[in-house]
Amino acid sequence: MTVCLFVEQELNQAVWGPKLHQVISDRFSVFVEMVDELKKRFAGFAEGVVVMVCPVLVAIALDKVDVKVYGHHAFFAMLGMAAITLIIGICPFLVCWFSGIFVSPVPVTAILATLSSCSLLILTCFIAQLVVPKNTLIIWGVVFGFLVLLRAVEYYRRGDFNQYEQNKILNESHEFLTGVTGVLFLGLEGLALEGHDDPMFQKGGPVANASFIVCATGVFMMYLEMTPPIDFSQQRHIALLTLTLDSFMAGGTFILLMLVMFKLMGLFALFLLAPPFVIIAVLVYLVAFDNAPAGDESTPASLELTKVTFTGFLAVSITVIRDTSPSKLTGCFLLFAAAAIVFGLSWRLLSQSHIRKSFTGVSSDPFDSSASLASLGTHVCIVIATFLLLAMAWPSRGKPCQIVKPCT
- What is the average pLDDT score of the chain? 78
Q: What is the pLDDT, as a whole number, of residue 226?
A: 84
Instruction: Determine which helix (DSSP H) or strand (DSSP E) holds 361, and give its type and residue range.
Output: none
Q: Are 249 and 176 in contact (CB under 8 A)?
A: yes
**CA neighbor of 260 nearest in space, from 201, 182, 338, 203:** 338
Who's near 247: CB < 8 A, 6+ residues apart?
349
Q: What is the pLDDT, as a whole number, of residue 215?
A: 92
CA angle 97, 301, 229 (to 5 degrees): 55
3-state secondary structure of 101: coil
Instruction: Determine which helix (DSSP H) or strand (DSSP E) holds 20, and give its type and residue range.
Output: helix 2-61
Identity of residue 53 = V
CA–CA distance, 210 with 263 (Å, rounded to integer) = 13
pLDDT in tens, 182-202: 989 888 888 887 766 555 456
Query: b/e for 274-290, b at 16 or more Cβ within 10 A?
Result: ebbebbeeebeebeeeb
Q: What is the pLDDT, as a whole number, of residue 26?
A: 41
Q: What is the pLDDT, as a whole number, of residue 225?
A: 85
CA–CA distance, 168 with 176 (Å, rounded to integer) = 12
Beta-strand (E) ranges in 39-104? Answer: none
pTM value is: 0.82
Q: What is the pLDDT, as a whole number, of residue 238?
A: 82
Query: b/e for 346-380, b at 16 or more Cβ within 10 A?
Result: bbbbbbbbbbbbbbeebbbebbbbbbebbbebbee
**Burial grade of 389 (CB within 10 A; 0-12, 13-18, 19 or more):** middle
CA–CA distance, 175 with 42 (Å, rounded to integer) = 10
Low-confidence ranges of the chain (pLDDT < 50): 3, 5-8, 10-32, 101-102, 200, 403-408
Q: Are 127 and 188 in contact (CB under 8 A)?
A: yes
Q: Are 253 and 345 in contact (CB under 8 A)?
A: yes
The Cα diameter of the chain in Å comes to 105
3-state secondary structure of 364: coil
> What sections of 159-234 are H helices per DSSP?
167-197, 206-226
CA–CA distance, 249 with 354 (Å, rounded to integer) = 15
3-state secondary structure of 232: helix
CA–CA distance, 306 with 302 (Å, rounded to integer) = 8
Q: Are 185 and 52 in contact (CB under 8 A)?
A: yes
CB atoms within 10 A of CB 382: 22
